[in-house]
């Protein structure tokens, strides 16, 4: 079974600085999707960025980028120019695409709480 | 992307009672997912609800405790039955959007007293 691990329960960053959140996963599949979701105190789950495993190029969305290392099964999130509004819980998630493992469900990591200091 | 209306946003319930949570999607979707998020924790999948068939429950969750309805492709309900304080959590529904994206409801914060 696939698993997702976030080893940093809490992180903090100074406003305008850069922070990297770590995520590792375990799978025997070659094709899958990886996601980073943000959950602020409002509880709303917000998609930050998505990476298709077959794409070697790292995904980027404005100040958010990932370092996808498929062989190492690592998927870290880098937040540049951190803003106060980035403070939230961040979840890494995995989804199978093909075969019997394609149930459509997301498998989440434990989450990392990011604090942004002014 | 799809928009989900989830109700209620929060409730305080007496132990032994039941609460039904509703999710309405503004477009037709095949699969809907129900998650539980205990305070400060990650999301745990309760079940997958497909229209026209019984929901598929994850290990540790049973239909008697969490009955699910999926009468059409835009609507689903999750009932938390015979509640105890251990059921106090946030409950979220989710759908698969286009291009393998996922959209979530705004969550229901349940407190059982």
**A-B interface: how many C-beta pairs under 8 angstroms?**
45
What's the mean pLDDT in A19-31?
94
Mean pLDDT by 10 residues, chain B (113 residues): 93 97 94 93 93 88 95 94 97 84 93 97
Mean pLDDT, residues A63-81 taken together: 97
* Chain A CB contacts of B92 below 8 Å: 43, 45
- Asked if A44 and B104 come within 8 Å (Cβ–Cβ), the reply is yes
Among all chains, which residue has been given the structure tokens 């899958």?
A32
pLDDT on residue A101: 52
B80 or A56, greater pLDDT: B80
Using CA atoms, how far apart are residues B24 and B73, in angstroms rounded to an integer?
Answer: 9
Residues of A with CB under 8 A from a CB of B: 33, 35, 42-45, 47, 50, 91, 95, 97, 103-106, 108-111
pLDDT for B99 equals 64
A70 closest CA partner among A59, A60, A62: A59
**Alpha carbon distance B75, B26 (integer Å):** 9
Alpha-carbon gap, residue B76 to B64, rounded angstroms: 17
Question: What residues in A contact B42, CB-CB < 8 Å?
Answer: 91, 108-111
- Chain A interface test: which of B3, B42, B44 (most A C-beta within 10 Å): B42
């Amino acid at each position: 079974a696939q698993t997702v691990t976030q080893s940093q329960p809490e992180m903090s960053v100074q406003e305008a600085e850069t922070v990297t959140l770590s995520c590792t996963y375990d799978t025997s599949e070659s094709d899958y999707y990886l996601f980073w979701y943000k959950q602020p105190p409002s509880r709303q789950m917000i998609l930050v960025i998505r990476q298709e495993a077959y794409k070697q190029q790292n995904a980027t969305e404005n100040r958010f980028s990932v370092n996808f290392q498929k062989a190492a099964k690592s998927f870290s999130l880098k937040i540049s120019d951190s803003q106060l509004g980035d403070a939230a819980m961040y979840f890494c998630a995995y989804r199978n695409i093909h075969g019997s493992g394609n149930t459509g469900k997301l498998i989440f990591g434990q989450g990392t709480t990011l604090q942004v200091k002014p | 992307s799809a928009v989900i209306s989830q109700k209620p946003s929060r409730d305080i319930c007496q132990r032994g009672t039941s609460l039904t949570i509703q999710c309405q999607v503004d477009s037709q979707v095949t699969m809907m997912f129900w998650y539980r998020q205990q305070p400060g924790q990650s999301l745990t999948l309760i079940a997958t609800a497909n229209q026209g068939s019984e929901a598929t429950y994850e290990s540790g969750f049973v239909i008697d405790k969490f009955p699910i309805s999926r009468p059409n492709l835009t609507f689903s309900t999750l009932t938390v039955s015979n509640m105890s304080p251990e059921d106090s959590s946030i409950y979220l529904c989710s759908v698969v959007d286009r291009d393998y994206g996922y959209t979530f409801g705004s969550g229901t914060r349940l407190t059982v007293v």
